[in-house]
Amino acid sequence: MKHILPELPYSLDALEPYIDAKTMEIHHSKHHQSYVDKLNAALDGHEDLLELSVEHLLTDLDKVPEEIRTAVKNNAGGHYNHSMFWKMMKHDGGGDPTGDVAEAINGEFGDFSKFKELFANAAATLFGSGWAWLVINKDNKLDVTQTHNQDSPISVGQKPLLGLDVWEHAYYLKYQNRRPEYIANWWNTVNWEQIEENYLKS
């Protein structure tokens, strides 16, 4: 079973003006596609591994032969992280979270603005390429974390609820070196219904 690029759940311009259509087009049809293609290339000839989902591969990387482990980690991670990321945003998103995830955020971080500050700081201070996350950690508590490159929280036993891609490819066309401005604007795209769903499933 070859891995395939999922369709975006909205049009390329749905996240304007916060994320521009050109960035979305390149990010989805070039960058994400490339993770999918390189994952399939790495798994070529490994019939047993081609049967496994990306989640399975990423939570059990030790089972992947050493000669393709790095390629699988990077590209299955890229595929998995981006597949989640697209769904974490929507047209007319943003605002405050509601429901159980809002209660959990308030319980863990004090209030939503304190959580936002922590998360934005994690995104802004990540050196190089990677992601900021809101996860449920191994102790079953909400936590704000960072991952480098395309490493995925699920490889270290965490359940990602919300993630922000801070690779330059995610924002450079519109924001150039102004990563904090991208982060500040990105909050207006967050699909809190999806984050609630992720929380309830975790």
Q: Which residues bind Mn ion (CB under 5 A)?
A: 165, 167, 170
CB of 51 to Mn ion, least distance (A): 27
In the bound state with Mn ion, the residue whose beta carbon lies nearer, of 84 and 105, is: 84
Residue 87 CA to its chain's centroid (Å): 9
Name the residue number minimizing CB distance to Mn ion.
165
CB of 82 to Mn ion, least distance (A): 6
In the bound state with Mn ion, the residue whose beta carbon lies nearer, of 151 and 165, is: 165
In the bound state with Mn ion, the residue whose beta carbon lies nearer, of 80 and 167, is: 167
CB of 142 to Mn ion, least distance (A): 24
Per-residue exposure over 69-87, b if at least 16 CB sit within 10 Å of its own CB, e if not:
eeebbbbbbbbbbbbbbbb
Q: Write the DSSP assignment of 109-154 as a string of letters.
A: HSSHHHHHHHHHHHHHH--SSEEEEEEE-TTS-EEEEEEETT--GG
CB of 7 to Mn ion, least distance (A): 17
